[in-house]
Chains A and B, each alone.
Chain A
């Protein structure tokens, strides 16, 4: 019998969230929704920030069990700052992603956390990496994750173009999050976005009532 439950068929265990990151010309945008839910029925937090800073110009988004994700990012943050002191230079984005990957893979039996790492470094410029639940590391120009991401695969495939401008990319990310939040009941709240470029970091928060509206609302 084919069950049509999107989560169990497609993503394995439900990771009640929507996260994404996309590169544009000169930087990256990384963003998430702000809902934490328990069992798909109770919203335990309406305004949690799932975009965590792990270094000056490197951020990551967590999906999965928030407890696991917080524990891993805390350890990764320490690891990275130590690494950066040793190397006497800001860490590479891929170094941050690798630190997360190592932890996710080593503890893949116990953990249930996936990450999107995005940032800017001197060597390769803007980059996005995704560390999946089992600990695979892959670099992509744009990536989406969490339970809400299933609903926006089509939109992202159609709308994302490499080398967009900063504003175009920000609008694209906001739209994508809004569309996912509109269809996924465990994603919602506000849209947290961070724009990372060579010059620095900018936080953008789009409250629920300012999110773009589509035809059926």
Chain B
């Protein structure tokens, strides 16, 4: 088989340019009967009916288009920073990133232009990382339950809070936790309806306040009664200086 492939174009009607639109509807065909050969520069023999019989090889309009790579040219919250390469679906990449001007196509020139370096200076007015805002929102909504013993005497330490964060599903190193100005000691029944806040520093830059409540743990019979949706009910501030900030926290309404 010669394996000749021919493209079928739209019908060759001459139309004014304002009506011609681009349509990408290439069909890849193969001739069933080989056409007659001729010498170079020689007379081209007349093609017969059988030479215009084609078999369909591929319809390019039904083939799935591959995802494209784009390079961010600025800091985008929740996605990435300058120079990050994303692989996205065609339409999503165009509508959400290229059209608003947040990214460009990932050709070698653009990749070189927006190349990232390990220690590049932080852009002004942006977070230290694209996911810091999400972390800050999560921590802002959180009401941390700090489970302390009902029987043994204790003083609240950063590692207590670190362990409580880990139990609640947050990784917070001890160095990032800033304790309240007043030392909290217990076990103390006065702490039952009180709350305070601690400050968490993300990437040594952004600060966010996290509400905390002490829960006195006693195994077995002496356990406190079950409080439904305790995080939806506001409580009194433990430390008077913190009252102002604690009032501004959001509470979910039932």
Genuine A/B complex: no
Residues of B bordering A, CB below 8 Å: none
